[in-house]
Amino acid sequence: MSKLINFTEVNPISNKQNLIIKNQIFSTIKKKDFILGKSVNEFEKKFSKLSKIKYSVGCASGTDALILSLMSLNLKKGDEVIVPGMSYISTGLSVILNNNKLIFVDIDNKTGLIAIDKIADKLTKKTKAIIPVNLYGQKVDLKKLREVVGSKITIIEDSAQSILAYSCHACTNNKSNKCCKKKMNEKYSDISCYSFYPSKNLGAYGDAGLIATNDKSAYKKLLALRNLGSIKNNKFTLVGKNSRLDTLQAVVLKNKIKNVLKWNNARRKISNIYDRNLRDIEEIKLTKTSPGSSRHLYVIRTKKRAKLIDYLIKKKIMCQTHYSYSLNQIKPFKKLIKSQKLVNSEKWSKECLSLPLYPEIKKNQIYKIIDEVKKFFLK
């Protein structure tokens, strides 16, 4: 009887690492170092060093990272913020919760990323920020994006799925499908927002997030905003919110982060196996992806998605959809904004399917998935 192939695993670590984390958690509890404790600062420094960015601010979640970033801009009610049509609800929700006007731009039909060539038509005098989403782990071409939006519009990267991904767009079309690994955080964006939800490439044991920037003034402002408007000693200078990174989660993250580059490489290798074996199936469209992607998800598209899901579940292969909606179709948003037709985003929401992808998946399981997908389409 075949074993169940899970959709994902929550970054299993070595027994040695697990023991270190347990001991540090107990030590934190013993010292009562719960709120913005020592481990928060240690994790922030490690993150900055690995991601090659000057400043990092830990916060409560990836959603809060987006909200705090928008709060730091002092936007007025009615100011416009552009987001892609394909993302998790948090991207659009952050704009609504900051009392700004949500403007959608459709996605590129090959990559699923925001269609940079469609942004210019959506720019107005009220456009103050844009949130490009590094969907499935692939970074948006920020150089091209900056050329389109100019220097006055703030670029806030939604990097929830692209931790320690490389932004080597010149490598996208090379024949070897290898990344030069020369660029990680280019200076074309102003702020990057990360999520450490348990299933992410770097997952906490609960909710956690982080904001990264090279701007010192933004950094100091964000330190206060995440802590009710105070950097320290209850000296309140801003209207902030309670969104501190929990010290116990920081303990987990500061120990796990050293594995991320290795885990990302493993994900790329698995994705390449999928690519080589699925690219010739006519009824499947693969997602065009740069070699430097963190490969958070492996997403295919097919018009037979519902039937394929049922078939794979019967074969004990778990899969998911990311996402079964486009943001313009979400009920709460439809009530707040005028109808905006997004052809590619809506099409992707009906066809996309994520196959199992995680560093610990066994090679025989990968080929089992491939064989079953082939059987479904070739029967």
Q: What is the pLDDT of residues 274-286, one digit of tens each?
A: 999 999 999 999 9
> Is residue 6 a part of any domain in this protein?
no
Parent domain of 143: 15-258
269 and 247 in a common domain:
no
> Is residue 5 a part of any domain in this protein?
no
236 and 111 in a common domain:
yes
With b for 16 or more beta-carbon neighbours within 10 A and e for fewer, the 57-83 pattern comes to: bbbbbbbbbbbbbbbbbebeeebbbbb
d(CA 199, CA 168): 25
> Is residue 72 a part of any domain in this protein?
yes
Q: Using DSSP, state whether 156 is helix, strand or coil.
A: strand
Going from the C-alpha of 333 to that of each of 38, 66, 92, 339, the distances in angstroms are 40, 17, 8, 10
Q: How confident is the model at residue 190 (pLDDT cuts 50, 70, 90)?
A: very high
Domain boundary among 241, 258, 275: 258
Handedness of CA 172, 161, 68, 85 (dihedral sign): positive
Q: pLDDT per residue over 243-272, tens digit each?
A: 999 999 999 999 999 999 999 999 999 999
312 and 184 in a common domain:
no
217 and 86 in a common domain:
yes
200 and 58 in a common domain:
yes
36 and 168 in a common domain:
yes
- Tell me the percentage of the chain whose pLDDT exceeds 90: 88
Q: Which pTM was predicted?
A: 0.95
Query: Residue 181: its pLDDT value, please?
Result: 58
307 and 241 in a common domain:
no
> Is residue 139 a part of any domain in this protein?
yes
- Tell me the percentage of the chain whose pLDDT exceeds 70: 94
Angle of helix 38-51 relative to helix 247-256, nearest 10 degrees, comes to 40
